[in-house]
Amino acid sequence: MWNNLPTEQRDRYKKLITNFASLSEAFAQKESEDDAIVAPIINSKFQETAFQYSFNANAEDIGNTSYDASIDEGNKKYLVGIKTFGVTSKDQKIAQFKAISPNWSNILTEIKDNASTLTTKDEINQKNEHLYLELAKNIAEVRNLRIKSSEENLRGFKLEDSDQLAEVEAVYHVLMPSPKNVEPKIAVGETTYTPIDIDNITVSGKGLGCTKVQNPTNFKFSDGRHVYKYTSSDSQLYMSFDNSNIVLEKWPVVYVQDAISIFEHLHDHKPKSKVKPLETHSMRIKIEKYSGFNAFYGQSKMGRKNNNREKFVARLKDKYKDQLTTQQIDYIFPRLEKILYTRWSTNKLKDQMVPLRKELLDYILPINKDLYNEVERNVYRTMNEFELRIPKSKAFHTKYPDFFVKKDPFSKDKTDRTFTLRFLPSETTLPAYIGEDNCKAIKSDKAEKYLGSWVRKDVFQLKDREILTKEKAQALGINGFRLSKYKDYITLEFIWIDPNDEPDDLWE
């Protein structure tokens, strides 16, 4: 990535970072008389801001993915994890799994019990190798889901079949200041931000497995590309960055002699104004089994007027009667009739319908694929049916009547309820509208099938007919979305809402 970015932008970034580091002597305190030269200081938050400013990058807010910025270069997009650590530093934190770590408690307990009477790492590794491997694969699966979801979030979705989506590459961008008492420099490093290669994970070999006898639930593993370390107490994943081998450039740092005077005149500088949203609202995603994100999982939407369902079953029976045995016909069609004719009007009734539907489809699949496809299409709703619901929508539109549209949000005319929606970070833009009872749903006619497919398969990494659960959303670090109103459009980004640190703009 680094070498492909415009030289002018790289020079601006270099200037910001080295200018900040040039003030290091004003902040650093020498630990002893022998400390003739202090190490350059890089503030991580300033680094992120400088990176975003220099490369016109978007700040990322995708829960636990550890991406900090995204860059759109047209036909190529970059997701960037931004880090700073000393050039001699070791493993660095790259992910946290605290919210889902209880799922692994049984494995961790068994590892600890196995090691309770052992005195060496070799003994512990031999006893727990299969458990370390199992846990490493569990960690990798969640890590990979987050990475893939974030990549697809940035890539966006098609509005037309002919559209070409940009390639997405994920990298770690690293700044590594030199240690004290050497000529002050900052090394620029870059390494791949790839999914963990699950098939090549190993927990045996030099430096792998148990890290300390006293803490057998902390262990290292490798996928052949990177070495990772998992610590159980905080459920964090670390990675070795192979510091010396990822350096692309080295920037000299010259310390200023009179830093105080610089701070004295800072108020004379007038910052450039930045376009800010007029209004923002964060909302939790309400996950329901048969509606919203999982609307496809409910009962069939086939019309009932004019005996439409009965006609469909009769037509299907006539079409396939010569391809099925009498026994198969007697099994399939009474069950299909029950599924289609019954009004499964409550969640409790739908819970009874789901296993019947699965049993029927499992029975048909090995018998006749064409029949299976026809039945599946009609006992399910379309997989790409998608609704993004506004919590307490009537109250929201009453309190903020002009957030989405300038006219009446409850107007019967759909054009009065239409607005321009832009997804972040991909910046995919399309016409959308608010609709259904009390205008509770954000919808789009133009790209409904693409939008639904993108959200389900790419953002939430769901397989065909897999429902979205709270556990899956939690693993991905997405449990909400933020709407931001600008003059001519509204942006939407999927986010993580920390229940212990709720955003000020939370609507619920």
Tell me: cis bond preceding 277? Omega within 30 of 0 counts: no
321 or 293, which is more confident?
Answer: 321
Residue 453, pLDDT score: 84
For 7-52, the DSSP string reads HHHHHHHHHHHHHHHTTHHHH---SSTT--SPPPP--HHHHHHHHH
Q: Write out the two tokens for 295.
A: 């609307």
pLDDT at 292 over 70: yes
Q: Write out the two tokens for 184.
A: 């002050």
Helix (H, G, I), strand (E, B) or coil at 229: strand
- pTM attached to this predicted model: 0.78
Cα–Cα distance measured from residue 118 to residue 121, given in angstroms and rounded to the nearest whole number: 8
Model confidence over 415-430: pLDDT tens digits? Answer: 899 999 999 888 889 8
Residue 80: in which H helix or E strand, if any? strand 76-84
How many CA atoms lie within 13 Å of 302's alpha carbon, on the beta-carbon side? 24
Among 483, 490, 487, residue whose Cα is nearest residue 505: 483
Residue 383, pLDDT score: 79
Cα–Cα distance measured from residue 362 to residue 328, given in angstroms and rounded to the nearest whole number: 13
Beta strands in 424-488 (DSSP E): 429-435, 441-443, 480-485
Cα–Cα distance measured from residue 341 to residue 347, given in angstroms and rounded to the nearest whole number: 17
Beta bridge partners, 430, equal 421
Beta bridge partners, 231, equal 236
Q: How far apart are the first and last CA of the chain?
A: 40
Query: How many CB atoms lie under 10 A from the CB of residue 224?
Result: 11
pLDDT at 411 over 60: yes
Say which residues have a Cβ less than 8 Å from residue 65's Cβ, sequence separation at least 6: 95, 146, 147, 149, 150, 477
Instruction: Find the angle CA(341)-CA(346)-CA(352) to the nearest 5 degrees.
Output: 65
Cα–Cα distance measured from residue 370 to residue 372, given in angstroms and rounded to the nearest whole number: 5
456 or 176, which is more confident?
Answer: 176
Cα–Cα distance measured from residue 159 to residue 451, given in angstroms and rounded to the nearest whole number: 8
Q: Write out the two tokens for 387.
A: 């609704």
Give the pLDDT band of residue 444 (cuts 50, 70, 90).
Answer: confident
Residue 273, pLDDT score: 64
Residue 61, pLDDT score: 57
pLDDT at 33 over 80: no
Residue type, 293: F
pLDDT at 269 over 70: no
Q: Write out the two tokens for 180.
A: 């004290």
Residue 66, pLDDT score: 65
Say which residues have a Cβ less than 8 Å from residue 418's Cβ, sequence separation at least 6: 405, 431, 432, 433
Among 378, 368, 392, 382, residue whose Cα is nearest residue 456: 382
Mean of all residue pLDDT scores within the chain? 90
Whose structure tokens read 């994100």?
A: 293
pLDDT at 271 over 70: no
Beta strands in 203-273 (DSSP E): 209-212, 215-222, 227-231, 236-239, 247-252
Among 440, 386, 372, 380, residue whose Cα is nearest residue 410: 440
Cα–Cα distance measured from residue 181 to residue 178, given in angstroms and rounded to the nearest whole number: 9
pLDDT at 65 over 60: no
Give the pLDDT band of residue 246 (cuts 50, 70, 90).
Answer: very high
221 or 457, which is more confident?
Answer: 221
